[in-house]
Amino acid sequence: MTKISIIMPVYNSENYLAATLECLQNQIFKDFELICINDGSTDNSLKILEEFSKQADFQVKIINQENQGAGASRNYGFTFASGETAIFLDCDDLFNLDFLDKMYKKYQETHADIVICKYKILSSEGEYFQQELGINDSKLPNKNIFCAYDIPEHIFNFTNHAAWNKLYKTDFIKENNLKFDNTPQTNDTYFTLCSLLTAKKITTTNEALITYRFYHTGSTSSVINNYDFYTMLPFQKLPYHLSQLGLQNKKVKRSFDKDCIATILFTVFLINRNRRKEFIHYIKNNIFLYNSVLLFIIKNLPDWVYTFGIKLEFIIRRIKQANFLCNKIVPN
């Protein structure tokens, strides 16, 4: 049996795909298969995949389909997976040469359902403006293997919502029927949060093994203009999943509320300015929180408070980035 199945949706990524594939070609760990779902690309992505598959020293499966989005592509690609474990990588990121080796060794040591690593962010200007993200060490328990029952107050907050920095036991995904949402954005949030709740064994690595390209498709505004309400859909479905798992204790509820509010603020910050007012009204009418006081406040906040929060967060982000660049130029 193959040790790792890599599922990778590909859509119009000709400018970055070759570099990503080269990172996989140069991995010191070789017992893996790459399943690429060409999601209706109209550029040279398919040609790049086909040329790469001829010279790769591991199995490459190329699946062509009409454009359906990354979530549907991941679900479909997983049906072809034959590996003991699976990881859902993006087609534009970069990976340390020991990325797969360290992730699988951690899995071997622990037999965890999920192995999580940290990552770095690479801006479109080529600057690493944030590092060592993906795991909040302060929220981890004092044990190598843990689950939701060990950190109920942090289960939604100790790691990011993405699936691409997480190695999953294949049987764990199948047994729990975990699926990605078929939405244009944040289609892995529900998958990730449900997996964290369901897993009996979670473990982490202490290294940043992935470089995540941020705003690679163009200017910051192009990404912001495409952001939408999909960020909130997982939080409308998740309470039912909590009740099914019997995890309706107060600490898990607090973790849910914190993550939901953080996602609201993040979306208000990123969403197209023309749709911001509509989103705020959507939140007031549809948001679910366990804490009734917080729910009352969120629903009754004047719109100008949200706008003020956006400006404040923008200023804080700028200060953090400036401090990082200063420390980089003039080290202590």
CA 120 vs CA 26, 259, 298: distances in Å = 19, 21, 32
Give which of 311, 236, 315, 303 is closest to 276, Cα–Cα: 303
What burial letters (b/e) apply to 301-315, b meaning 16+ CB within 10 Å? eeeeebeeebeeeee
Based on the fold, state whether residues 9 and 35 are members of the same structural domain: yes
Structural domain boundaries enclosing 128:
4-220
CATH number at residue 189: 3.90.550.10
Using the structure block, give the residue that is written with the tokens 């010279």.
Answer: 55
Burial (0-12, 13-18, 19+ Cβ within 10 Å), 7: buried
pLDDT at 328 (0 to 100): 43
* Cβ-Cβ contacts under 8 Å for 204 (sequence gap 6 or more): 115, 116, 117, 135, 140, 159
Based on the fold, state whether residues 111 and 132 are members of the same structural domain: yes
Query: Of 187, 220, 253, which one is at a domain's C-terminal end?
Result: 220
For the chain, how many helices (H) and strands (E)? 12, 9
Query: What are the 10-residue block averages of pLDDT along the chain, 332 residues in total?
Result: 96 94 97 97 96 95 95 97 97 96 98 96 66 89 95 94 97 96 88 95 96 59 57 89 73 92 84 84 90 91 76 60 47 38
CA 275 vs CA 111, 182, 227, 272: distances in Å = 45, 22, 10, 5
Helix spans in the chain (H): 17-25, 45-55, 70-78, 99-110, 170-175, 189-198, 220-226, 233-245, 250-270, 273-286, 292-300, 303-329
Based on the fold, state whether residues 207 and 233 are members of the same structural domain: no
Instruction: Count the domains in the chain.
Output: 2
Rounded to whole angstroms, the Cα distance separating 216 from 239 reads 34
pLDDT at 220 (0 to 100): 32
Based on the fold, state whether residues 111 and 245 are members of the same structural domain: no
Residue 274's SS3 state is helix
Based on the fold, state whether residues 90 and 239 are members of the same structural domain: no
pLDDT at 248 (0 to 100): 64
Using the structure block, give the residue that is written with the tokens 């003039």.
Answer: 330
Rounded to whole angstroms, the Cα distance separating 30 from 293 reads 53
Based on the fold, state whether residues 255 and 293 are members of the same structural domain: yes
Residue 332's SS3 state is coil
Query: Of 220, 245, 278, which one is at a domain's C-terminal end?
Result: 220
Residue 146's SS3 state is strand
Rounded to whole angstroms, the Cα distance separating 73 from 192 reads 16
Query: Of 220, 250, 269, which one is at a domain's C-terminal end?
Result: 220
Helices 233-245, 250-270: inter-axial angle, 10-degree rounding: 170
Residue 262's SS3 state is helix
How crowded is residue 227: how many other Cβ atoms within 10 Å of its Cβ?
20
Rounded to whole angstroms, the Cα distance separating 141 from 154 reads 10
CB 256 within 8 A of CB 155: no
Burial (0-12, 13-18, 19+ Cβ within 10 Å), 218: exposed
